[in-house]
Structure 1
Amino acid sequence: MKSAFLCMLFLVALGRSGFASEPTIINCQFDGHPPMIMSIRGGQGANDNTLQIGDAEPVELTIGSGMTSAEFNGKLYFINSDSVVIGDDSFAGGCGDNIGRDWYKGIAAGPWVYGAHIDEMRGKVTNYASVDSSDRLDFQFPYQGGATPSLFVRWNDGLEIFVKVDKGQFRCDEDRDSTIYVKFDAGQIQTVRCSEASDGIRNVIFLDFRPDFWMDLKYSQIMTMEVSFFGEGPRQFKFNVGRLDLKKLH
């Protein structure tokens, strides 16, 4: 697990080598400690990577061939994918929302969380921003228990936007329901074309690119969506989209 974690950090720096002024942020949380934020710039062996613990000033983060470490308040911190060792004590936790896998979330700036998807096979890093809706959707069996919509914006050879729910199935069929309704703040209702994910999963839909749509997304505070779900009909939910920083995605 440790070697995979170090490989992930190396690949982050490799994929960001042309954008050193915009570091990749990796957010970590360990038992009994404030959030730890790793800012990866130069990667392994570089002296411009930093670790911020809570609200304290960032300190230098060392990414070596066998460990990731930093000195804070006179103590050495050794950071692994599933624990941090401080002195003689080890504390469980991890970095990202799927520990040991390839999605790593970052620090929130406003409502948005910035992170990176690591393709270890190809050495490619895809940067993204995400925000969860404060609205919970109640569905019938087998998706009962409440579902949370999430909005993602990413740079994948161009800007892409998609919506995901942790339960339920979107209805976005080219022959019938290929549009959704969107409103920014108190503006006019917009009709936006949607499409299914290429792998056929039903809990993700992509929104078609329109320059005016991106401008509204960047400069608005609230985005309201109305989307149809299989067996449930149309549902509405909101996202707090203020302060989206598209520069962090390049």
Structure 2
Amino acid sequence: MAKLVNCKNCGGFIAKNADSCPSCGARVNRTSVLTWIAVVFIGFMVLSALMAGMSDNPSPGVADNSSAGEVSNNIAETDATQLNEVTEVQAVPNWMYGESVDKMRDTTTYTAITTSRNNVHLSSPYSGGTDLSIIIRHTDELNNEVLFVTNNGQLWCEYRNCTMTVKFDDNSIEQYSLSRAAGGSSEAMFLDGSEELFINKLKDSKIMMLEIGFYNNGNQQFTFDTAELDWQY
């Protein structure tokens, strides 16, 4: 019995080797043997081209050693350059100096500033770290002044006994008198009457510890790197 297939035109049954459909008369188109051979040959050529292309290019996940070596060398050279740049940067000095000119009065103000290397944490409502700065200031009118300024909180002392405690290097503890800022600012206090002595001891010291009072937070201690103070006034 001949094998039956469906007619593509009417859907009726037709013998597989028939030339036309007995129901609708539609001609049956068959792919010749030569056509099949041509398709197989073209497919083989395409597959060969793909395989050749894959052999020329490294597979994903397989690194090209020469390229990787160049990249590694570039990274190493970049890192070395950056490291050299960092090591060549000078260390931040302990003291920062300033000079301002009042052209109207023809006067010059000189300053030297250092900030504590530690900070303290005060109780609410103050948040974040609190540090302390020492400012030495010279004008022709007032000569040398020494200020203590905080970036957070309020400096405080008793009216009749306004002092701070200081220790230079490994020397004995000393006390110095303070006075409040004339403008009423609670962020700054002035050394009262011992400016020259204090500045000279700063110039001779490397480390200084200072204890000063803060409103509602008691005495707080700060450490300063005081070496190499250059003050000629």
**Of the two, which has the highest radius of gyration?**
2
Identify the match of residue 234 of structure 1 among 191, 199, 219. 219
| Equivalence for 2:169 | 185
Aligned positions of 1:138-153 closer than 5 A: 138-153=121-136
2: CA distance, partners of 1:168 / 1:121: 35
TM-fit CA distance, 1:172: 2.7
* Contact 2:211-2:222 within 8 A present in 1 as well: yes
| Equivalence for 1:213 | 198
Residues 144/188 of structure 1: CA separation in 2 closer, same or farther (3 Å cut): same
Give the partner amino acid of 1:217.
L
1: CA distance, partners of 2:209 / 2:102: 32
| Equivalence for 2:118 | 135
2: CA distance, partners of 1:237 / 1:229: 12
TM-fit CA distance, 1:112: 0.4
* Contact 2:207-2:225 within 8 A present in 1 as well: yes
Taking structure 2 as the reference length, the TM-score comes to: 0.56
* Contact 2:169-2:207 within 8 A present in 1 as well: yes
Give the partner amino acid of 1:244.
L
Aligned positions of 1:41-190 closer than 5 A: 110-119=93-102, 122-156=105-139, 157-175=142-160, 177-190=161-174
1: CA distance, partners of 2:154 / 2:131: 12
* Contact 1:170-1:202 within 8 A present in 2 as well: yes
Residues 108/150 of structure 1: CA separation in 2 closer, same or farther (3 Å cut): farther
Identify the match of residue 204 of structure 1 among 163, 166, 188. 188
Give the partner amino acid of 1:150.
S
| Equivalence for 2:229 | 244
| Equivalence for 1:74 | none
Q: Matched residue of 1:212: which SS? A: helix
**Which protein is richer in helix relative to its size?**
2
Taking structure 1 as the reference length, the TM-score comes to: 0.52
2: CA distance, partners of 1:136 / 1:171: 17
Give the partner amino acid of 1:158.
N
* Contact 2:145-2:190 within 8 A present in 1 as well: yes
1: CA distance, partners of 2:129 / 2:218: 16
The superposition leaves residues 5-45 of structure 1 with CA deviations (integer Å, 9 ceiling, x where unpaired) of: xxxxxxxxxxxxxxxxxxxxxxxxxxxxxxxxxxxxxxxxx
Give the partner amino acid of 1:223.
M
2: CA distance, partners of 1:141 / 1:185: 33
2: CA distance, partners of 1:169 / 1:183: 22
Where structure 1 has 5 or more consecutive residues not aligned to the other structure, the ranges are 1-54, 56-106
Please tell me the root mean square deviation across aligned C-alpha atoms, in Å: 2.4
Give the partner amino acid of 1:182.
V
Residues 128/233 of structure 1: CA separation in 2 closer, same or farther (3 Å cut): same
Q: Matched residue of 2:199: which SS? A: helix
2: CA distance, partners of 1:201 / 1:121: 27
* Contact 1:222-1:238 within 8 A present in 2 as well: yes
- Identity fraction in percent: 32
1: CA distance, partners of 2:133 / 2:226: 11
Q: Matched residue of 1:216: which SS? A: helix
The superposition leaves residues 39-91 of structure 1 with CA deviations (integer Å, 9 ceiling, x where unpaired) of: xxxxxxxxxxxxxxxx9xxxxxxxxxxxxxxxxxxxxxxxxxxxxxxxxxxxx
How many residues get paired? 143
